[in-house]
Structure 1
Amino acid sequence: MTPKQQGFFFPAEWHNHVATWLTFPHNDHSWQGDKLAKMYPQYFQFIKAISKGEKVGLNVNDEKLKTFILEELDRYSIDANQIEILINPTNDAWCRDHGPAFLINPETKQRMIVNWGYNAWGGKYPPFGDDDNLPVQIAKYRGLEYVTPNIIMEGGSVDFNGAGSVLTSRSCLLNPNRNPHLSQSQIEEYVCNYYGVEQVLWVNDGIVGDDTDGHIDDTARFVNEDTVVAAVEYNKNDENYEVLNENLQLMKQMRLLNGKQLNVIELPMPAPVVIDDFRTPGSYANFLICNAGVIVPTYQCKNDDVALDILSQCFKDRPVIGLEATDIIWGQGSFHCLSQQEPSV
């Protein structure tokens, strides 16, 4: 029986968390030169913000890195009792994509993990075998059953409303570098059966600088069961204008399972975040919803306050926390890309 047939589903991100899982950055191919050390202060502020409301599970590559982290926790006044450190060899930091997908069954009070396959966004960044093994390692650590669908799937490519709908992009899920043997309808069947949803909603593409082939967590996110915030670019000369406007128009036509039209709130893009002549995929949509608040990347830009205000209107039940991410974004991802939540049941 599939997880869906057993009553399991992937809950919305605002569902209460037991913990949030991170894979501690150590790969200087992602943050080249001095950029890895430079991003650590922002990363520890991220850990600190999450830890105010839940445990933080840290996958750490080796004992040397563990020693460094423990020293830094004290330096940043992070409560070490809120941090669970596991020595798990990894290739890179993007836990949203290679980490465990936790499902819950509220009827039986059980949880399980989906062990999706991971190939570093179509084989772009080998090796990735250690990252691909991580869900099984965490399932064993938590004592949870896991199921292996044997297809490629990344957590950043899907976003859930917790009421049967998932939002995704054609440019990623239908890319031949992931599952070339599957049609769109077959991929939808996997998504529904293994995430426990009823409806797949499709936009087309992603933003400039995103090497994941268009992950949804840079462009559109559910903020409640019937509402999404959609990244928009108002400068018609910007490279992102056309694709984001196209996605916006598609979402305005979408209807949910209950027949209601999807409520779409526009979320402006930051000014282009360019580092060493490279345009990074800076976006306010790459926020993490956790117990302590909604952690939003900011980019030293006039739209920072605009985005934080819009998101504060969307989330009345928890604070919206803006954290500087200009050094983190060089790695081509931000707070949502770096994290994967573990829900309570």
Structure 2
Amino acid sequence: MTHADPHDPTPRDLGFAMPPEWAPHAATWMSWPADDDLWFGHLEDVRAEFTALIRTIARFEPVQLLVRDDESETDARARLAGADVTYHRVPLDDVWVRDNGPIFVRREGGELALTDWRFNSWGGKFNWENDDRVPDYVANHLGMHRWALPFVLEGGGLEVNGAGVGLTTRSCFLTATRNPGLTEEGYAALLADTLGVQKLLWLDGGLENDHTDGHIDTITRFTDETTIVTSVEPDEDDPNHEVMAHNLIALRRMTDVHGQPFRIVELPLPADHLEGAEGRLPPTYANFYIGNGFVVVPQYGDPNDAPALEILTPLFPGREVIGVSSRAIIEGGGSFHCVTQQQPDGTVWSGD
């Protein structure tokens, strides 16, 4: 495994690009929740939901689980006994590995490397120094080439369709606390060089009170190369209504790299307002995670839980669409996609 410098070839130079989430996985990387204060006293309930989530994923593919100390590892091993889980002792601040973990890239021959972006906890909102080191650990563990990049980028802030299109939000990427001065055009060039995004599409914003500043993976997702599912809020008095309606209009005007429109599928937000320790929570069904033969969808004990599953199931033929409770996990501000990071199937490329 070698480290890149600014004069080294970019991933694009060497034929690497980020695969879509539905491409075959070698494993799912996750982190075990450990800090009761971060979960506002709900750690036990959160760990119970993590257990159900990890056991679900591990029925279909291996889980690589980061644990930060003796207590975490002992607790996780007891709850997950018999599941296909490998444990890694790594210093951690939190569990949002979608954002602080590596983003893997693959090239046509099946070789796999990773990109390591700076993570600053969504603009310095929480502690992040330990979490920012996770991609380096993963690269060393796998013996994999790592491109260390001097830009802040969270995996939850970008969706790709595997056919050259990326989707993000201005409310997240253009904040002054991430990459000051980096414009939409600058991001387009950067993501073309690093992740193979040929066409970067922008929505304006995300959910109310989302501490990520509106990650795309909480509202709008690709389900295949040509289909986008997007969150809608029918209640005109809800603060999310106008933003989601504006996003829907924008999506219907967008096209792929060939100029073809996307199929747009509407997905309701949960009907009930959920309040947490710091105000309204941002529950969403769009924060599902796609794996080998399955899609796991957050559920909240809400009237829209079942309708959301009914909408998503036909979008994933050949995959089992599974609802799992995320009522406690959402207290931390995210859900299943936020706490997972896929390692695509492929052979490790060390850069040599």
| Bin for the TM-score computed over the shorter chain | over 0.9
CA drift of 1:246 comes to 0.6
* C-alpha separation in 2, matches of 1:46 and 1:207: 24
* C-alpha separation in 1, matches of 2:139 and 2:278: 41
Give deviations 1:50-84, integer Å, cap 9, x for gaps.
Answer: 0011110101102332122111113xxx42xx111
Match of residue 95, structure 2, among 93, 96, 109: 93
* C-alpha separation in 2, matches of 1:201 and 1:181: 19
Show the counterpart of 1:22.
Answer: 30
CA drift of 1:277 comes to 7.4
* C-alpha separation in 2, matches of 1:28 and 1:94: 15
Unmatched runs of 5 consecutive residues or more in structure 2? 1-8, 347-352
Show the counterpart of 2:286.
Answer: 285
Show the counterpart of 1:174.
Answer: 174
* C-alpha separation in 1, matches of 2:187 and 2:113: 21
* C-alpha separation in 1, matches of 2:35 and 2:98: 16
Show the counterpart of 1:62.
Answer: 69
* C-alpha separation in 1, matches of 2:98 and 2:270: 22
Task: Let me know the Cα RMSD of the aligned residues.
Answer: 1.1
> Does structure 1 residue 192 correspond to structure 2 residue 199?
no
Letter in 2 for 1:96: R
* C-alpha separation in 2, matches of 1:66 and 1:249: 47
Give deviations 1:174-233, integer Å, cap 9, x for gaps.
Answer: 111100032221122111111112010100001012100000001100000011000000
CA drift of 1:38 comes to 1.7
* Matched position secondary structure for 1:129: coil
Contact 2:232 2:269 in 1 (8 A): yes
* C-alpha separation in 2, matches of 1:28 and 1:158: 29
Contact 1:54 1:292 in 2 (8 A): no
- How many pairs were matched up? 337
Contact 1:60 1:85 in 2 (8 A): yes
Letter in 2 for 1:92: D
Q: CA 1:42/1:292 → structure 2, altered by over 3 Å: closer, same or farther?
A: farther
* Matched position secondary structure for 1:246: helix
Q: CA 1:224/1:181 → structure 2, altered by over 3 Å: closer, same or farther?
A: same
* C-alpha separation in 2, matches of 1:191 and 1:276: 36
* Matched position secondary structure for 1:210: coil
* C-alpha separation in 2, matches of 1:6 and 1:342: 19
Question: Which structure 2 residues correspond to residues 1-345 of structure 1 after superposition, within 5 A?
Answer: 1-33=9-41, 35-74=42-81, 78-79=82-83, 82-107=84-109, 109-126=110-127, 128-271=128-271, 272-275=273-276, 278-345=279-346
* Matched position secondary structure for 1:137: helix
CA drift of 1:106 comes to 2.0
* C-alpha separation in 2, matches of 1:131 and 1:5: 29
Letter in 2 for 1:32: F
Give deviations 1:317-339, integer Å, cap 9, x for gaps.
Answer: 10110011111100000000001
Contact 2:40 2:277 in 1 (8 A): no
CA drift of 1:141 comes to 0.3
CA drift of 1:250 comes to 0.5
Contact 1:149 1:194 in 2 (8 A): no
* Matched position secondary structure for 1:148: strand
* C-alpha separation in 2, matches of 1:60 and 1:209: 29
